[in-house]
Amino acid sequence: MSALGGTFLDAYPLHFLVWNNQYLELDRELQKKEDVERLDPRGRTPLELAVCLGHLESTRVLLRHSADPTHSNAQGWTILQEAVSTGDPELVQLVLQYRDFKRATERLAGIPELLSKLRQARDFYVEMKWEFTSWVPLVSKVCPSDVYRVWKSGSCLRVDTTLLGFEHMTWLKGRRSYIFKGGDDGAVVMEVDHEKQVVYTEPLVLSPRDAPSLLAAMQPSQENTAQRLTSPIVSTHLNTRNIAFERNKSGIWGWRSEKSEVVSGYEAKVYSATNVELVTRSRTEHLSDQDKSRSKGSKTPLQSFLGIAEQHTAHNGSNVSQCASPHNPTAITAEEYFNPEFNLNGRDIGRPIELTSKVQRFKATLWLSETHPLSLAEQVTPIIDLMAISNAHFAKLRDFITLRLPPGFPVKIEIPLFHVLNARVTFSNLCGCDEPVSSVTVHKSESQSPPPFNCEVDPSVFEPPADYTTLGPGRSEPMRDEDDNLLQFAIQQSLLDAGTESDQVTIWEALTNSRPVPPSPLYEEDSQLESTVTDPRLSGHFGVATSFDEQLRIAMELSCRENWKDT
């Protein structure tokens, strides 16, 4: 070994062994309890370095030694996304399996902790009304609503819902209860299907001997892997760096005052959150020419219609050396890579990144009450965290309410879920004060206004009906990537409802419905929308739908678009 190599081995022992794919030595070094998450001079963990170099053996060793497969680098890319970039299906399967295993174990550990937090808070009952809205007429026609009913007593929690999600182009409806029961020796989650009269029970305890079987159960399918390898890598994040909260105004010009409204019996100040951006980035360097053509072909007027600012960049680096490998195309040496003083001049390991960036500006509205008795941090946030484990919409609500909000409890929030769909969440009927609830006993006096926060919840609420069949785990709802399916269904359903073989409708007619919200100079997507729907080339391209099949074909062509959730 050269003197320089010895220096690197001393400074970054795990990284240097990964660089050379010396996986047997790496295994021995990891037994010394080296820091498996240490960053090298280029900001990579040993696992990320192994994945970017396509070293399957070193990746397997690191994952067995509990390297974090959910890590994101400084650019926001995850280990799994970097694995997809290599185009190696075996590497993708391995990383995906361990990522899902880590998520499952964190879920098993996290729910009892959340229930323990709830135990300290006062008992309550509250209803969360979810209304899905859109400024796009053909989407708003099929937007549903639902009321989540929430009971909390001690470390027990129950959430009832009828809107289960969206899958296979269909709304999933039903009557479900999710019951979380915490105790000193662990916790239990029950999913109660009232239509089938079945209870699925899952104890949240993972013993060391259960870990191998859980890991084996996380083996991804070949179809899942193939889908990732033939689709763009998509990363989305909410940029709130410049977010600003401003009081809404009411009245006419010259007599305007700060706006307040009564929501669910509580006086609330109305705020707007501005300068919120959803940044979506797509990478395509792993796709074949055929997959790239298919991806480009799926771009339709809908994407301009949604008001997206788009930028393409390619990081090709320097000329490719004859000694380069597919995972090190510019033949960077270890001496160059591990020397923090050496300037790579844009070169890097891994495939040259082909990147498309899109930015959408959003505006959210909040109704904040300083007299509401519920505590966002102590009582509501743990519930949202629990539901976010298996519900993508709750996950997005959680991401928003963890921002530094103005003072007060958010009795109503309207936030964007993605480009054309908003969610309006309203908290109401606290402790059954608006409409009595048989399982809740309210303690109040006539002189108190607003109603006091003092109620008791019947313990029987947290027990499933005795005549229901109890089964083991196996039906718990997974996290759904339903945003894309939702938009596809909305467009397809609206077009098919609007016209038949005898009553024809064109995409032109669907898109030129007026937008109910007045245009704002703050948002450039309005001008893009106007230019899109008035472009004469669009009507010539789509023409008139002459049959049911043709309408369906056009609807599906329009609705093809990139996934908005991280894959």
Dihedral sign for Cα atoms in the order 344, 350, 356, 362: negative
Instruction: Quick: pLDDT tens for 258-308.
Output: 999 999 999 999 999 988 787 888 999 999 888 887 766 554 444 443 444
255 beta partners: none
Angle between helices 79-86 and 89-119 (to 10 degrees): 170
The pLDDT value recorded for residue 114 is 83
Q: Which of 49-53, 169-173, 243-247, 329-333 has the lowest mean pLDDT?
A: 169-173
Only one residue has tokens 């870990």, namely 211
Instruction: Quick: pLDDT tens for 304-332.
Output: 434 444 555 555 444 433 344 788 999 99
Average pLDDT over residues 364-378: 91
Q: Which of 163-177, 229-243, 252-266 has the lowest mean pLDDT?
A: 163-177
Inform me whether the pLDDT recorded for 79 exceeds 90: yes
The pLDDT value recorded for residue 4 is 53
Inform me whether the pLDDT recorded for 113 exceeds 60: yes
Residue ranges per domain, the chain?
3-106, 239-262+278-358, 483-559
Distance of CA 415 to the CA centre of its chain: 14
Average pLDDT over residues 46-62: 98
Burial of 523-552, coded b for 16+ CB within 10 Å and e otherwise, reads bebbebbeebbeeeebbeebeebeeeeebe
Instruction: Quick: pLDDT tens for 133-154.
Output: 776 665 555 566 788 999 999 9
Closest CA to 62 of 30, 103, 92: 30
Write the CA distances from 470 to 173, 439, 458, integer angstroms: 21, 23, 22
Write the CA distances from 421 to 6, 71, 153, 513, integer angstroms: 56, 29, 34, 17
Inform me whether the pLDDT recorded for 531 exceeds 70: no
Inform me whether the pLDDT recorded for 496 exceeds 50: no
Only one residue has tokens 């890319």, namely 77
Inform me whether the pLDDT recorded for 550 exceeds 60: no
Q: What percent of the chain has pLDDT over 90?
A: 40
CATH of domain 3-106: 1.25.40.20
Structure confidence at residue 516 as a pLDDT band (50, 70, 90): very low
The pLDDT value recorded for residue 5 is 52
Closest CA to 391 of 461, 472, 476, 484: 476
Phi, psi of 98 (to 5 degrees): -75, -30
Q: Which of 58-62, 105-109, 150-154, 416-420 has the lowest mean pLDDT?
A: 416-420
Residue 159 or 490, more confident: 159
The pLDDT value recorded for residue 419 is 58
Whole-number average pLDDT of the chain: 76
Inform me whether the pLDDT recorded for 392 exceeds 50: yes
The pLDDT value recorded for residue 461 is 96
Tokens of 506: 């064109």
The residue ranges of DSSP E strands in 168-256, in sequence order, are: 170-183, 186-193, 198-203, 233-239, 244-247, 249-250
Structure confidence at residue 502 as a pLDDT band (50, 70, 90): very low
The pLDDT value recorded for residue 553 is 43
